[in-house]
Amino acid sequence: MNLRHKLQSKTTIGNLFDKHFENQRYVSEDSLHFLVDLVHLFRPKKPKKEVTVSIEKLLYFLEEHPDKRELLIGYLAQLFKERKFSRMLSDAAILQDADFVFEVKKRLLAKVLPYQPQKDTLQYILNQVFYLNSDGIWIKKVPMEELLRLFDLLSFRDIYVSVKEKSPLSELLNVMNLIPQRMSGRAMENDVIKMVPEYSQFESPFTAFEKELQEIIEKIRTGEQHAITSDDLLYKQLLILHKQCEEYVDKAFANSSKYGISIKVNQSLLRIRQQLYRMKILIPLLVVNKEEDKKHNTIQLALQLIKFNCYKNNVGQLINESTQLLSYEITQHTAKTGEHYITESPKEYFGMLKAALGGGFIVGILCIIKLLFSKIETSAFGHAFLYSLNYSLGFIAIYLCGFTLATKQPAMTAATIIQALEKGMKKQGKTENKHSSFAKLFARLFRSQFIAFVGNVVMAFPVSLLGIWAIDQVFDYNIAETKWPKLLGDLNPIFSPAIFHASIAGVFLFLSGIISGSISNRNKHNQVYYRIQEHPFLKMSFGVEKTKKIANWFEHNWAGIVSNGWFGVFLGSTASIGIFLGLNLDIRHITFASGNFALGLYGMNFKADLWMIGWSILGIGLIGFMNFIVSFGLSIGLAFRSRNIPLSEFRLLNKAIWIHFRKRPLSFFIPVKDKREEESVS
């Protein structure tokens, strides 16, 4: 450091002392203004993890001005005298409730209006001084050598000098006594124990951990050194038990694929995991092998207190941790379901076409029913109810008949191809093999989606046309005569918000996939199907075998029925909600667009010019594309996140898909004859 910089530093810090100190004393002994200004002086504007933060200029100033140093020592000694911090150490940045929504609301409120503890606590000081989230990052970038020098210059004492009540070490021991009790109680809850039946015949590792820690705490309180060494057998045994507790939690999370998991159990396990991590940080603070460890541990405790307090209201991390496992279980279900939507052989391909024709047939009928419902004089709510009923019953019928609604595929198949990519990342030796295999699977998905589109559209058009013609012949009434301008106008991608409305439908398609996975996971966790199978009244009424068949039917169909029902409600109520909010909201779906196109043409007696027909056909294609890309994009994003696959993989996957398309473009539309070139990732 050059002389000019030293003088500049001395002047800056000196101004702080001149501002806050008068006549060799602090203006207000309980004021924190000096600390706030001092921290602000060293706080970087944009802290970066890889850049160190130096406090050299403060150290130089204190060394050059012993009188100022003495003032600061007295001020800090008075400020930190008997400050409590045990509650902050046990609670800050740890889930306090199993209610996820409550926890999110509490943290969001705390960001706007922070909770302020009592003024006799250390947390009050940290709230006022280190009030930014970034403070927890840059403070750890101060070199330990500089912190040790500051420790000596300000005559701080280590935490091992006393275990009397209200001493720092006593506070630390109280926290380490409290956290295991909380963990042990939470781990003994019935919903948590149900996740780890493997441990039902053994003593809980949390109870053993608590007992072992009690012995260490007692040893520290009664010993002269007020610490233990790393060679202590109690300490080594404690680390083993801590590891067993971590394995307990890991096993519970792993068993979620067998037993399902609820948000409450997920939060309980997350809380135990956070508490175990807190103990993992605190346990080494009890170990002193050499004299300098006392200073080092004391500084580490201070840094951790600042970090925990800064992160206590972190909403993003809470949402990420709380939803990742649930999203994995949901997408795991949709991945299993999605396997049925990806064809490989010509037989499967034309089987998909047949199923799509069936789906198009039902949708053609739904288009006519919706048009008839639109003529009923009722409120917006009445139309929402009628449309929702029409859509829901139709989609459920498509599902139960084994037919296919094309745009339902992307939300289901995204997780399937991500699962294939995940397995490829584990098995493939070369990155290009992994990505090329993914591209081949995507080609199978795309052609399956393509033929499903074709089947739906090709069948919905003639069924709607035949239906409206039959009604006209029987009742001598063209039901689309006054509606055709809207029916055809809504297909125009330029002069109507058809693309935006198709995107809304894509979001609802994604949500229906989420609902399906969520229902399946919840029922599995609550053992719904086993309850039905063993229901005494049902077994007495229908017999054991029929009751078992009922349970199997519910297991394989209930999630699909509920998700299709809700999908119908979403589509049927969107326009009415838009009217209520004063927004132009509606949905566009490719299969319904095809049926409406037929109804519109008949309504105007087929007098449409080529431009109108061309724009309508283009609109139907764009609607289908938006249905696909939005639902698939959202689903694959969720699948990526649930499996911790980096988003950087997107670019590599897109490149592999493009290369494969250039080599074999037909494989994206029809089954290739050479199956050796179309192997899937198993």
pLDDT of residue 682: 38
Cα angle for residues 130, 101, 554 (degrees, 5° grid): 150
Residue 301 DSSP label: H
pLDDT of residue 409: 60
pLDDT of residue 7: 39
**Pairwise CA distance, residues 498 & 479, whole Å:** 23
pLDDT of residue 446: 83
pLDDT of residue 142: 92
pLDDT of residue 480: 93
- For the chain, which residues score pLDDT lower than 50? 1-11, 29, 335, 338, 425-432, 675-682
- pLDDT (tens digit, 9 = 90+) per residue, 315-349? 877 777 777 666 666 666 554 554 556 777 888 88
Q: Is 22 helix (H, G, I), strand (E, B) or coil?
A: strand
pLDDT of residue 254: 84
pLDDT of residue 434: 65
Helix axes of 66-79 and 56-64: crossing angle, nearest 10 degrees: 110
Do residues 390 and 373 make contact, with C-beta atoms less than 8 angstroms apart? yes
pLDDT of residue 676: 47
Which H or E run contains 121? none
Do residues 514 and 330 make contact, with C-beta atoms less than 8 angstroms apart? yes
Closest CA to 405 of 269, 248, 176, 591: 591
pLDDT of residue 389: 97
